[in-house]
Amino acid sequence: MSTTAASPPVGPEVDPTPRPLPARIPHRGRAVDLEPLHVRHATELFQAAQAPGAEPGWTYLGYGPFADEAAMRRHVAAFAAQHDPMAFAVRQHRTGTVDGWLTLMEIHPADSDIEIGHIWFSPRLQRTRAATEAIFLLMRHAMDDLGYRRLTWKCHAMNAPSRAAAHRLGFRYEGTLRAVKVIKGRLRDTAWFSILEDEWPARRAAISAWLDDANWDAQGRPRASLTRMTDAPLPWVTE
């Protein structure tokens, strides 16, 4: 009597249509504008990098700090000429100044996979409502406007602020790749996080509610914690 071998397991079927490539267009929020990075931003970015406490922000990036404005200009000119990563300058409405950049990167339209990375915020922007909105604008663009299925975040495994930011925004920890890069002459372990399309609506609602004016008191403090609102697993816990 013949038997039929069981079929090997495979993943679920999905819409295989490639997602659109992101465009070099501005994005406007309540507290910030994202402007396609351009060499004209170099002067403001160099000034932002001179703020007290700015130097540690370069520790885990593959570039910076920059010795002078000319060095910053060379970096910005080269960075702005790339499509992947695609960089945006962050301009705060409150100050009118450009105080950092961030990118969409590792763009894989056929796999519907895209990443937010290369985040550099000066101390004037760090830990502010505007900083969260800047990241959220690109998250929303990738998932809602472009329809990507998977949004990723990765960072140096020793970069505690970036790991905390991923957790706060609702990214799920996936694991750590060991000794995967060399950054500034040192080995780097890389921690990976993601948000998938079925998780995104809840994350979007939580961040939108946190950013909403109703969540902020007269002293400019949030009434509710974004970490609690996103209710994401702790970054050091695996399931």
Q: Mean of the per-residue pLDDT values for the chain?
A: 94
* Predicted local confidence at residue 3, as pLDDT: 56
Token code pair at residue 150: 């998977």
With tokens 């402007």, the residue in question is 35
Cis (ω within 30 of 0) for the bond into 36?
Answer: no
Residue 173 lies in a domain: yes
Residue 13 lies in a domain: no
Q: What percent of the chain has pLDDT over 70?
A: 95
Residue 19 lies in a domain: no
Q: In whole angstroms, what is the distance from residue 171 CA to residue 226 CA?
A: 12
**The residue type at 107:** I
Mean pLDDT over 46-63 rounds to 97
Going by their DSSP bridges, the two strands 172-183 and 186-196 should be labelled as antiparallel
Q: How confident is the model at residue 230 (pLDDT cuts 50, 70, 90)?
A: confident
Q: In whole angstroms, what is the distance from residue 54 CA to residue 41 CA?
A: 18
End-to-end CA gap in the chain: 43
Q: How far is CA 189 from the centre of its chain?
A: 18
* Res. 97: pLDDT tops 90: yes
| pLDDT one-digit tens code per residue, 112-154 | 999 999 999 999 999 999 999 999 999 999 999 999 999 999 9
Of residues 215 and 235, more confidence is placed in 215
Helical packing angle, 69-80 and 42-49, nearest 10° = 130
Residue 1 lies in a domain: no
| pLDDT one-digit tens code per residue, 57-76 | 999 999 999 999 999 999 99
CATH of the domain at 92: 3.40.630.30
Q: Which of 126, 80, 73, 79 is nearest to 99 (CA)?
A: 126
Token code pair at residue 116: 């937010």
Q: In whole angstroms, what is the distance from residue 224 CA to residue 199 CA?
A: 21
Cα–Cα distances in angstroms (integers) from residue 108 to residues 14, 79, 100, 122, 205, in the given order: 15, 19, 25, 29, 26
Residue 239 lies in a domain: no
Q: What is the domain range of residue 58?
A: 27-230
Residue 174 lies in a domain: yes
Q: In whole angstroms, what is the distance from residue 163 CA to residue 138 CA?
A: 18
Q: In whole angstroms, what is the distance from residue 82 CA to residue 105 CA?
A: 10
Count of domains in the chain? Answer: 1
Residue 223 lies in a domain: yes
Residue 196 lies in a domain: yes
Q: In whole angstroms, what is the distance from residue 169 CA to residue 235 CA?
A: 11
Token code pair at residue 162: 């970036």
Mean pLDDT over 84-92 rounds to 98
The model scores a pTM over 0.85: yes
